[in-house]
Structure 1
Amino acid sequence: MRSSSVVLIALVALAAYYIYIPLPSSVSEPWKLMLLDATFRGAQQVSNLIHCLGLSHHLLALNFIILSFGKKSAWSSARVKVTDTDFDSVEVRVFEGSPKPEEPLKRSVVYIHGGGWALGSAKIKYYDELCTVMAEELNAVIVSIEYRLVPEVYFPAQIHDVVRATKYFLQPEVLQKYSVDPGRIGISGDSAGGNLAAAVSQQFSQDANLKNKLKVQALIYPVLQALDFNTPSYQQNVNTPIVSRHTMVKYWVDYFKGNHDFVQAMIVNNHTSLDVGEAAALRARLNWTSLLPTSITKNYKPVVQTTGNARIVREIPQLLDARSAPLIAAQEVLQHLPKTYILTCEHDVLRDDGIMYAKRLESAGVKVTLDHFEDGFHGCMIFTSWPTNFSVGLRTRNSYIKWLDQNL
């Protein structure tokens, strides 16, 4: 009896040790976040083991685990009709709010889910619930795109999928089929989905052949650049859930089918050192000492290496491509973008990407709403239902939908 008690106490202690990580007191519901992070870390470690055993790619294994927790079939309610179909051979899930006699034409949002370009699905419960709520509360048509993921495809295939599906949807006959007002269409996405939304928005703003333009773009804690992994938010939140700096750099390398041996060098900015000429012209476009307020920069210092590893950019030139990093786009590209909403969270390595993009867009004459949540963490907006329900999840979702309601 005594030995079993000792074993139980040891197991409890080990579990507590695994779950506990130091978090700022200002983060929303820290113990619940620790449990969520521990679950995700556990899934990552299992998938890495599967990869090491040669059974499957670690991202395929991880995505299988994620989808097994909540993939939902298309299910319509009295208020929202949900349909799985394809737009130009790209799978989409369409959510249609109930028609109103006084509004024969609906507004619409093209939504792109997050997941590091490698994880998640438009059909997972988190995004299914988000898009259902959006369709109902906005009385809108929400097109959630099931783009292909790493390692099936790599950059820029994800962008091509989103472009194809969105262009198909923007055709007059398709908009008519779904009773959508061509002048009230927006594009949106979270995390890597925010990256894709920003890239597509930039591309569409320069497309003279596109008759129906996007009215707004709404970017939720978007990932927007891979040149500086030592912005204040990367330094402050280096190991904060749910995406650490190391994890984010690995997502970038996987997106480009790059060499994982480069990860540690990129973490210390060796890929954009002063002797890497290709990056010199772009560094000024994300100079956070001028783009971020002093309340954000605090006492953090820029990490600019004198000498680094020029081989990284030579082998992964996609790092300097504005399609992958919309923050580094030229000013003449930014000035044609639509009204923009950017949501950022204090406890997120990507916080400063969004804040810097807002500043650059404002300087280009674009109307921008920057919506910052001091207790927010990366990914929080999709965590709104038990057992992963966070108060900041509901508040961010409500604030986001309110902005869409007022501006779309």
Structure 2
Amino acid sequence: MKGAWVLLAAFASFTAYYVYLPLPSAIAEPWKLMMLDAVLRSIQDLSNLVHFFGFSHHLRVLNFVSGYMSKLDAESCDNVKVTDTVFDGVQIRIFDPIEKRDKTLKRGVIYLHGGGWTLEGARMRTYDQLCRAVAEGVNAVVVSVEYRILPDVHFPEQLNDALHATKYFLQPDVLAKWSVDPNRIALSGDSSGGNLAAAVCQQLIQDGNAVSKIKLQALIYPVLQVLDFNTPSYQQNMDMPILRRFLMAKFWLHYLNGNSKYVEPMLVNNHTSFDVSQAVALRERLNWSSILPSGIQKHFKPVVQTVGTPELIQEVPAIFDVRASPLIAEKESLKLMPKTYILTCEYDVLRDDGLMYAKRLEDAGVEVTNDHYEDGFHGCMIFADWPLYFSVGARTRDNYIKWLDENL
């Protein structure tokens, strides 16, 4: 009996150690966030363990476990008809509002889910709930794109899937089939999906063959650059749930088909050092000391190395591809962007990616709404329903839908 109590005490101590994180008091519902983060870390640790013993790739395990816990069939309800289909070889889930507010055509929203280019999202509970809410709240046909994911494909295949699906939907006959107004279409996405949405928008605007133009782009805590892992938000929130700096660097390397051994050099910006010629012309577009407000910069200093890791650049040339890092696009390209909504969260490593993109777009003459949440954390908007409810999740989702409804 004494031994059992010792084991119980040891287990309780380990659990408390694993779960507890020293979080800022201003962050939304910190204890609930600790518990959620512990569950997500346990899934990541399990996937890494399976990978270590050679049973399967850790990203496949991560996706399988996440999907097993939350994947939903295409079930329609009283207000929204849900259909799984294929657009130009890409899996799609469509959310079509059943009750029209009037006899005019409906609006359209193309949605690209997040998940580090790794997790299947369109069929997961969190994104299913989000897209239903958007379809009903905006009276819009929501096209949720299930692009191919890591580790089966790498950049630029995820982008190609998103681009092909978008172009397919923009065809006049397809829009007519779904009763969508070709002049009222938004392109949206969160996190890595925000990356794809921004890249697709840039590609479409420059494509003279695009049948219809995007009226709006709405980016939710988007990841927009791979060149600087020491922006103030990366430094401030490097160990913050749900997306730590180390994990974001790993996601980037997987996406760009690089070796994980380069994580540490990337974390100290060895890939954009002074001796890397490709980085010289791009550095000014990422000079956060001149782009971000002083209140955001706080006491943080830029990190630029004198000598870098040349083999990293040679093995991962896509690091400097604007399709991977939409933030580094030239000003002439940014001038062509549509009216933009960017949601950012204070306790998110990607906060400054969004803030810098908002500023660069504004400087290029684009109308931008930056919706910033002082108590927000990465991924919060998909946690707006039971059983993963956060008040900041509900607020971000409601305000996002309100903006779409008022501007689309």
Question: Cα 1:301–1:128, aligned 2, differ >3 Å: closer, same or farther?
Answer: same
Q: Single out whichever of 94-103 and 366-375 deviates more from structure 2.
A: 94-103
Contact 2:120 2:146 survives alignment (8 Å): no
Q: Residue 33 of structure 1 corresponds to which residue in structure 2?
A: 33
Number of residue pairs aligned between Structure 1 and Structure 2 = 408
Q: Residue 70 of structure 2 corresponds to which residue in structure 1?
A: 70
Q: Distance in 1 between matches of 2:208 and 2:398?
A: 35
Q: Residue 157 of structure 1 corresponds to which residue in structure 2?
A: 157
Q: Residue 227 of structure 2 corresponds to which residue in structure 1?
A: 227
Q: Distance in 1 between matches of 2:152 and 2:4?
A: 47
SS at match of 1:376: strand
Matched, 1:181 2:181: yes
Q: Residue 132 of structure 1 corresponds to which residue in structure 2?
A: 132
Instruction: Give the Å deviation of 1:113.
Output: 0.3
Matched, 1:249 2:224: no
Q: Residue 18 of structure 1 corresponds to which residue in structure 2?
A: 18
Q: Residue 4 of structure 2 corresponds to which residue in structure 1?
A: 4
Matched, 1:142 2:123: no
1:161-310 correspondence runs (5 A): 161-310=161-310
Q: Report Cα offsets for 1:153-185 as digits up to 9, x if no partner.
A: 000000110111111111111100000000000
AA partner of residue 307 (structure 1): V
Q: Residue 46 of structure 2 corresponds to which residue in structure 1?
A: 46
Q: Distance in 2 between matches of 1:387 and 1:74?
A: 20
AA partner of residue 236 (structure 1): Q
Q: Single out whichever of 182-191 and 304-313 deviates more from structure 2.
A: 304-313
Instruction: Give the Å deviation of 1:2.
Output: 3.6
Q: Distance in 2 between matches of 1:3 and 1:251?
A: 43
Instruction: Give the Å deviation of 1:386.
Output: 2.5
AA partner of residue 392 (structure 1): V
Q: Distance in 1 between matches of 2:135 and 2:102?
A: 17
Q: Residue 118 of structure 1 corresponds to which residue in structure 2?
A: 118
SS at match of 1:117: coil
AA partner of residue 22 (structure 1): P
Q: Residue 322 of structure 1 corresponds to which residue in structure 2?
A: 322
AA partner of residue 149 (structure 1): I
Question: Cα 1:11–1:81, aligned 2, differ >3 Å: closer, same or farther?
Answer: same
Q: Distance in 1 between matches of 2:308 and 2:103?
A: 58
Instruction: Give the Å deviation of 1:39.
Output: 0.6
SS at match of 1:69: helix
Q: Residue 80 of structure 2 corresponds to which residue in structure 1?
A: 80
Instruction: Give the Å deviation of 1:7.
Output: 2.2
Q: Distance in 2 between matches of 1:211 and 1:372?
A: 33
AA partner of residue 52 (structure 1): F
Q: Distance in 1 between matches of 2:358 and 2:382?
A: 22
SS at match of 2:70: coil
Q: Distance in 1 between matches of 2:158 and 2:274?
A: 31
Q: Residue 345 of structure 1 corresponds to which residue in structure 2?
A: 345
Q: Residue 407 of structure 2 corresponds to which residue in structure 1?
A: 407
Question: Cα 1:308–1:384, aligned 2, differ >3 Å: closer, same or farther?
Answer: same
Q: Residue 373 of structure 1 corresponds to which residue in structure 2?
A: 373
Q: Report Cα offsets for 1:138-167 as digits up to 9, x if no partner.
A: 111000000000111000000110111111
Q: Distance in 1 between matches of 2:111 and 2:224?
A: 17
AA partner of residue 18 (structure 1): Y
AA partner of residue 185 (structure 2): I
Q: Distance in 2 between matches of 1:399 and 1:104?
A: 24
Q: Distance in 2 between matches of 1:320 and 1:36?
A: 35
Contact 2:101 2:139 survives alignment (8 Å): no
AA partner of residue 207 (structure 1): D
Q: Residue 382 of structure 1 corresponds to which residue in structure 2?
A: 382
Q: Distance in 2 between matches of 1:105 and 1:244?
A: 43
Instruction: Give the Å deviation of 1:101.
Output: 6.1
Q: Distance in 2 between matches of 1:18 and 1:260?
A: 25
Q: Distance in 2 between matches of 1:291 and 1:240?
A: 24
SS at match of 2:168: helix
Q: Report Cα offsets for 1:272-331 as digits up to 9, x if no partner.
A: 000111111101101000110011001100001111112211211111111000000000
SS at match of 1:345: strand
- Runs (5+) with no aligned partner, structure 2: none
AA partner of residue 350 (structure 2): L
- Runs (5+) with no aligned partner, structure 1: none
Q: Distance in 1 between matches of 2:356 and 2:230?
A: 14
Instruction: Give the Å deviation of 1:112.
Output: 0.3
- Provide the TM-score with structure 2 as the length reference: 0.99
- Provide the TM-score with structure 1 as the length reference: 0.99
Q: Distance in 2 between matches of 1:172 and 1:386?
A: 38
Contact 2:90 2:147 survives alignment (8 Å): yes
Q: Report Cα offsets for 1:77-117 as digits up to 9, x if no partner.
A: 11100000001111000000124262330001000000111
SS at match of 2:389: coil
Identity across the alignment (%): 60
Matched, 1:356 2:356: yes
Contact 2:192 2:223 survives alignment (8 Å): yes
AA partner of residue 279 (structure 1): A
